[in-house]
Structure 1
């Protein structure tokens, strides 16, 4: 399936769905508060120009290659694995940050399975800009369960597809997921209280997920200590961004000395 460049979409608006007889306005929930950066990342309809592709089609090599080719124009001659990894940093930041805020702060369940989302990318650069949902947000009393469903229903299959298409190690991609998920859960804990995200942190820190499956993010974020005693988070697997011209390294967060510049 070729990547499509769309204007307005014929997908139904979230206003067409009834949730307790009232639609949930995701952007309105975050407003201008501390999580305002979540606005515009989860859409009910595609109404802006750009590349528009069902997330499930990222498993098709020609679709994925077309998007990465656009993004890779920023880094001519660079290691394709680093280009793919950098692109997924945009993707996984959208997949984890806004959804986690809505799940844990606003107690909203989202239709985030890979078959229920489409991706909007920048028309010129191929950078991910938003997800378009085909289902309706609903209230939830189990945000950790919703996050687990997101990992199984979206992160896991898209990582398998990208790893197969791009020759990038799945553990690198899972570390990219873990980096943003760890950050946003700690940010929520700081602003709203740690009890709010205990179940989410368990999905990062426990060796096994509910049901007994191995947790692919276990140990991906490690706590290190500087000589002065200050603690900081460090990745287990380098994201390779230091190989891209004009892109700064991760500083102390990088596990490789070359990536700390």
Structure 2
């Protein structure tokens, strides 16, 4: 593990022992249609990579060092676009594999920001996996688990990144909503809407369960092409089209210049 700059040795997680995982998460997805979830939720520290507590992403110095590594790929580019692109990797890991395990396998995962470690590529700073400090458990309320993930992880991390990087919280919530909407609809398409019952409400209702404004409400919209075909479109552009070598989002982008 690398120990330079703001990063410490993995002993920084001494108070966060890694999980003794009773469930083989990668084995559950196997080589099936959700095989891309493998290797994203770990129960032990990997041999390579930078490891940092997800809570420490709220520390500006640590976050800036990670983003500084990632930014080397895009010299001179808009830092807001760089930060947004980095969070696209982060939030894809936070939503896709967890949603598959919650809604397909009825597994509750210990993904609160204080119980999770982030593994980044040593050279690029790109998010690669999470390491859990707790044991996965059985759940009968996957939608409740997803709501807990939004409140216990996405919300504090988004608040910190927005404050530290000058990126609008609504842009970051749209990054979360884009991946969450995609994976829930993918599960519904393959296995029926009953499997994600309650999950899509966390995107489509104006209030969180129990009260409070839903920051993802209205972030994913249904648009229609001239031929009549429907497609999804973000409310807020992720800015990725400003980065050299990165393709736009096509029709999903709300800005014409981002659709290339």
Tell me the TM-score normalized by structure 1. Answer: 0.94
Q: CA deviation at 1:196?
A: 1.1
Q: CA deviation at 1:256?
A: 0.5
Alignment of 1:96-175 (within 5 A): 96-175=95-174
Q: Which residue of 2 aligns with 1:37?
A: 36
Q: CA deviation at 1:70?
A: 0.3
Alignment of 1:55-134 (within 5 A): 55-134=54-133
Q: Which residue of 2 aligns with 1:236?
A: 235
Q: Secondary structure at the match of 2:223?
A: strand
- Large movers: runs of 4+ above 6 Å: none
Q: CA deviation at 1:2?
A: 2.3
Q: 1:202 aligned to 2:201? A: yes
| Number of matched pairs | 254
Unaligned runs of 5+ in 1: 18-22
Q: Which residue of 1 aligns with 2:244?
A: 245
Unaligned runs of 5+ in 2: none
Asked if the contact 2:18–2:133 (Cα under 8 Å) also holds between the matched residues in 1, the reply is: no
Q: Which residue of 1 aligns with 2:256?
A: 257
Deviations 1:59-116 (A, max 9, x none): 0000000000000000000000000000000000000000000000000000010000
Q: 1:32 to 1:55 in 2, by over 3 A?
A: same
Deviations 1:8-52 (A, max 9, x none): x987564x46xxxxx111111111111110000000111221111
Alpha-carbon distance in structure 2 between the residues aligned to 1:26 and 1:190: 22
Asked if the contact 2:113–2:153 (Cα under 8 Å) also holds between the matched residues in 1, the reply is: yes
Q: 1:160 to 1:13 in 2, by over 3 A?
A: closer
Asked if the contact 1:4–1:51 (Cα under 8 Å) also holds between the matched residues in 2, the reply is: no
Alpha-carbon distance in structure 2 between the residues aligned to 1:25 and 1:87: 28
Q: 1:210 to 1:50 in 2, by over 3 A?
A: same
What RMSD over aligned residues (CA atoms) do the two structures have, in Å? 1.6
Alpha-carbon distance in structure 1 between the residues aligned to 2:204 and 2:114: 27
Q: Which residue of 1 aligns with 2:7?
A: 3
Deviations 1:157-197 (A, max 9, x none): 00000000000000000000000000000000011111111
Alpha-carbon distance in structure 2 between the residues aligned to 1:119 and 1:5: 13
Q: Secondary structure at the match of 1:185?
A: helix
**More moved, 186-195 vs 173-182:** 186-195
Q: CA deviation at 1:198?
A: 1.9
Q: 1:26 aligned to 2:25? A: yes
Q: Secondary structure at the match of 1:129?
A: strand
Q: 1:172 to 1:97 in 2, by over 3 A?
A: same
Q: CA deviation at 1:121?
A: 0.3
Alpha-carbon distance in structure 1 between the residues aligned to 2:18 and 2:30: 20
Alpha-carbon distance in structure 1 between the residues aligned to 2:80 and 2:160: 14
Q: CA deviation at 1:5?
A: 6.1
Q: Which residue of 1 aligns with 2:176?
A: 177
Tell me the TM-score normalized by structure 2. Answer: 0.94
